[in-house]
C-alpha cells in the first residue's frame, strides 16, 4: 500500500513504540553440493552460514500490517486483501497468507526485520526471511509447527507469492541446518541427516558481484526443462533416472533436455557419493565436477564465476570450488584448509578486483559482521 524510507537502523521500539511480542531468527545457507536437484526430487547438501535474519513482531488491532526493514530503511504496509508490491514484503505477506490457509488465525502485525544475510547472491536471504517470520509467528501464537512444516510453508510462500518455482532446499536449510554440519536432504522424502565437516576444513564464499534475480533469470525455465525431460523419460521426476542404467535413454533426449537431465542425474550421484566419501580431497573433486556440469550441461554459470572458481581451484589449500545457488551470477563456494581461508579469500578477491570487477568475501564475514571487499 505505502512505502517510505525512514532513517537508518531503527529498533522495533524506535519504529513502533513499546516492545515486540515475539522474535524469530534464521540463517542463510550456502549449498556445498547438489544444485538444481531439489525440484527434481533429488539430493542436496547445504550448510548454514553465520549471517542471520531477525524478525520481531507484535499483534495489533485492525487490518493493516506494517513491515519495517532496517537494512533497506523501508517501511511497507499491506492487508490480506491488498498485497505489497515490494519484493521483500512479498515474502512476509506470502508466509502470513500461507499460515492463514493452514487454518491459523493471523492478526495484523507490526514487524521489524534486521538481516545481515547478503541479498541476491544465492545465499537464501529470502528463505531466511520466510523462516524467521514463521518462527516469530510460531512463538507469538504458540503454534504447533515443527521446523519441517515451517520450511514447507516458507516454500509455498515463495512459490505462490514471489513467483519462483523453487525447490525446498533453501527453506529446509534455513530451518534445520547449522554452521558446523552439512545438511544432507532428500527433497522427495524430506529425510535429513547432519554430516560432520572434516576437522581443519572451512567454507569460503565469494560474491562475483554479478547480480541475479531468480524470478527474472532462467530459473523457472530450467525447472520446466527438467520436468519436460522427466515426462519424456516416463518418470515422476529426474530423481528416478540413473546416470549409468539410463544412459541410452538420456542420450536419446533432444537438446537442451539431454544436457539438463545429464546434469541433474550426475549431480544426484555426486551428492550420494559425497555423503559417504572419506576425505576432503575426494569431496572437493565432486565440487569441481559439479561446477563443470553446471557450466556446460545446465548452463547457469557466467564468465566471472568461472574465473573465480578456476582461481580458487588453483590454490593448493583449496579442496574444491564451484558456483553455488541457482547461478546466473551470484556467489561461489570453496572448501579450504581452514588456516589458509582468509589469505585465499583476500588473494583471489584482490586479483578479481584488479580486473575492474566488483566482488566480496561473504563467508567468513569480517569481525564487524560486514562482508569484505567493495
Size of the site for ligand GLA (CB under 6 A): 10
**How far is residue 37's CA from residue 29's CA, in Å, rounded to a whole number?**
16
Pick one of 38, 110, 130, 207: the residue that binds ligand GLA (CB under 6 A): 38
Sign of CA dihedral 259, 265, 268, 273: negative
Q: CB-based contacts of 65: which residues, under 8 Å, 6+ apart? A: 77, 78, 79, 93, 96, 108, 109, 110, 111
**How far is residue 156's CA from residue 145's CA, in Å, rounded to a whole number?**
15
Q: Is 39 in the site for ligand GLA (CB under 6 A)?
A: yes
Q: Is 33 in the site for ligand GLA (CB under 6 A)?
A: no
Q: Closest separation between CB of residue 361 and ligand GLA, Å? A: 20
Catalytic residue among 41, 116, 170, 207: 170
Closer CB to ligand GLA, 109 or 168, in the complex? 168
**How far is residue 42's CA from residue 239's CA, in Å, rounded to a whole number?**
5
Closer CB to ligand GLA, 38 or 110, in the complex? 38
363-to-21, 84, 152 alpha-carbon distances in Å: 32, 32, 27
Closer CB to ligand GLA, 145 or 169, in the complex? 169
Pick one of 20, 28, 32, 36: the residue that binds ligand GLA (CB under 6 A): 36
Roughly how many angstroms between the first and final C-alpha of the chain, as a whole number? 34
Q: What residue number has its CB nearest to ligand GLA?
A: 166
170 is catalytic: yes
HSE-CB of 373 using CA atoms within 13 angstroms: 28
Residues 159-198, mask of contacts with ligand GLA (x by CB under 6 A): -------xx-xx----------------------------
Cis peptide upstream of residue 364 (ω within 30 degrees of 0) = yes
Candidates 34-42, 174-182, 192-200, 348-356; binding stretch for ligand GLA (CB under 6 A): 34-42
Which residues are annotated as catalytic?
Answer: 170
Interface residues toward ligand GLA, by CB under 6 A: 35-36, 38-39, 166-167, 169-170, 325-326
Amino acid at each position: 500500500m505505502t512505502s517510505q524510507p525512514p532513517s537508518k537502523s531503527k529498533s522495533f521500539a524506535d519504529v513502533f513504540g513499546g516492545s515486540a511480542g515475539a522474535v524469530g531468527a534464521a540463517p542463510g545457507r550456502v549449498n556445498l553440493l547438489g544444485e538444481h536437484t531439489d525440484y527434481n526430487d533429488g539430493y542436496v547438501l547445504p550448510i548454514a552460514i553465520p549471517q542471520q535474519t531477525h524478525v520481531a513482531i507484535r499483534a495489533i488491532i485492525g487490518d493493516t500490517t506494517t513491515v519495517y526493514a532496517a537494512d533497506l530503511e523501508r517501511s511497507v504496509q499491506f492487508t490480506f486483501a491488498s498485497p505489497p508490491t515490494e519484493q521483500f514484503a512479498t515474502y512476509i505477506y506470502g508466509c502470513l497468507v500461507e499460515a492463514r490457509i493452514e487454518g491459523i488465525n493471523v492478526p495484523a502485525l507490526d514487524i521489524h526485520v534486521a538481516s545481515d544475510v547478503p541479498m541476491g547472491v544465492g545465499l537464501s536471504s529470502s528463505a531466511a526471511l520466510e523462516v524467521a517470520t514463521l518462527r516469530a509467528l510460531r512463538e507469538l501464537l504458540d503454534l504447533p509447527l515443527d521446523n519441517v512444516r515451517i520450511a514447507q510453508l516458507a516454500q509455498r510462500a515463495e512459490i505462490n507469492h514471489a513467483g519462483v518455482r523453487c525447490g525446498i532446499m533453501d527453506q529446509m536449510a534455513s530451518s534445520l541446518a547449522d554452521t558446523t554440519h552439512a545438511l544432507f536432504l532428500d527433497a522427495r522424502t524430506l529425510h535429513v541427516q547432519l554430516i560432520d565437516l572434516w576437522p581443519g576444513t572451512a567454507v569460503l564464499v565469494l560474491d562475483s558481484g554479478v547480480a541475479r534475480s531468480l524470478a527474472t533469470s532462467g530459473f523457472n525455465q530450467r525447472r520446466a526443462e527438467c520436468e519436460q525431460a522427466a515426462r519424456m523419460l516416463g518418470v515422476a521426476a529426474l530423481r528416478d533416472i540413473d546416470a549409468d542404467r539410463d544412459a541410452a535413454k538420456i542420450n536419446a533426449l533432444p537438446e537442451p533436455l539431454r544436457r539438463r537431465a545429464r546434469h541433474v542425474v550426475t549431480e544426484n550421484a555426486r551428492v550420494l557419493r559425497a555423503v559417504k566419501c572419506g576425505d576432503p580431497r575426494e569431496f572437493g573433486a565432486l565440487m569441481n565436477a559439479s561446477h563443470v556440469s553446471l557450466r556446460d550441461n545446465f548452463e547457469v554459470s557466467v564468465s566471472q564465476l568461472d574465473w573465480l572458481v578456476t582461481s580458487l581451484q588453483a590454490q593448493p589449500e583449496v579442496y574444491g570450488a564451484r558456483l553455488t545457488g541457482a547461478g546466473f551470477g551470484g556467489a561461489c563456494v570453496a572448501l579450504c584448509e581452514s588456516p589458509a581461508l582468509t589469505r585465499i579469500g583476500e588473494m583471489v578477491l584482490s586479483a578479481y578486483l584488479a580486473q575492474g570487477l566488483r566482488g566480496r568475501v561473504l563467508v567468513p564475514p569480517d569481525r564487524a559482521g560486514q562482508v569484505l571487499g567493495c
